[in-house]
Amino acid sequence: MSRFAPLLLLAALTACGGGKGPATDPSGAAGTTAAADPAAKPGLALTGGRLVLPAVKGNPAAVYFTLVNGSDKPATLAAVDVAGAGMAMLHETTQADGHSTMAELKDPVIAPGASLELAPGGKHVMLDGVPADWKPGATAELTLVFADGDKLSAPLKVEAPGGD
């Protein structure tokens, strides 16, 4: 029963295509089909994709992930889409004078070798129009669109509100 594991591991390694990927995140295994996927920007790897449902129905959900640029060119993230949901916007929460404010994060550029990390309390995707029947444990599909027209799709694990 364990004989598939080496194959999966190999796929994970080759999918990164360029050495120093996110070496410590085993959850990234979910995105290993990227190499054969037309919606896979060369050299970019997305791990830890999750969608946290709103505590109050009808409020926006939050999407978090880590995007690593393993290519030798800067990547500009132009748009975010979650299949079946409404509008998605990149936001950044910052603290100033003890207040937390949120602003749109416009076309972030990820330098070669750098990463874009979305996490609670910082950068995030705010997602409207989450269908009422999306439940924790389900999987949604995230697609990132880059300024050069390339795309990258990855799964999002749907999680209950308040988990962070």
Rounded to an integer, what distance in angstroms lies between the CA atom of residue 135 and that of residue 146?
29
Between 107 and 148, whose beta carbon lies closer to Cu ion?
107
Shortest gap between Cβ of 126 and Cu ion (angstroms)?
Answer: 4
* Among 102, 103, 109, 160, interactor with Cu ion by CB under 5 A: 102
Sequence-ordered alpha helix ranges (H) in the chain: 5-16
Q: Look at phi and psi of residue 112 and say left if phi exceeds 0, alpha if psi is from -120 to 50, else beta.
A: beta
The strand pairing partners of 26, in sequence order, are none
The closest alpha carbon to 78, from 110, 112, 118, 111, belongs to 110
Rounded to an integer, what distance in angstroms lies between the CA atom of residue 152 and that of residue 150?
7
Q: Is 126 in the site for Cu ion (CB under 5 A)?
A: yes
Between 42 and 54, whose beta carbon lies closer to Cu ion?
54
Shortest gap between Cβ of 65 and Cu ion (angstroms)?
Answer: 15
User: Among 18-26, 43-51, 89-97, 154-162, which window interacts with Cu ion (CB under 5 A)?
Assistant: 89-97
Between 45 and 127, whose beta carbon lies closer to Cu ion?
127
Residue 43 tokens, joined: 């050299």
Q: Which residue has the CB atom at the shortest distance from Cu ion?
A: 91
Rounded to an integer, what distance in angstroms lies between the CA atom of residue 33 and that of residue 154?
9
Between 31 and 64, whose beta carbon lies closer to Cu ion?
64
Rounded to an integer, what distance in angstroms lies between the CA atom of residue 56 and that of residue 34?
34
Antiparallel, parallel or unpaired: β 88-96 and 123-127: antiparallel
Total chain residues near Cu ion (CB under 5 A): 3
Shortest gap between Cβ of 159 and Cu ion (angstroms)?
Answer: 17
Between 64 and 67, whose beta carbon lies closer to Cu ion?
64
User: Among 18-26, 72-80, 90-98, 144-152, which window interacts with Cu ion (CB under 5 A)?
Assistant: 90-98
What residues make contact with Cu ion under the rule CB under 5 A?
91, 102, 126
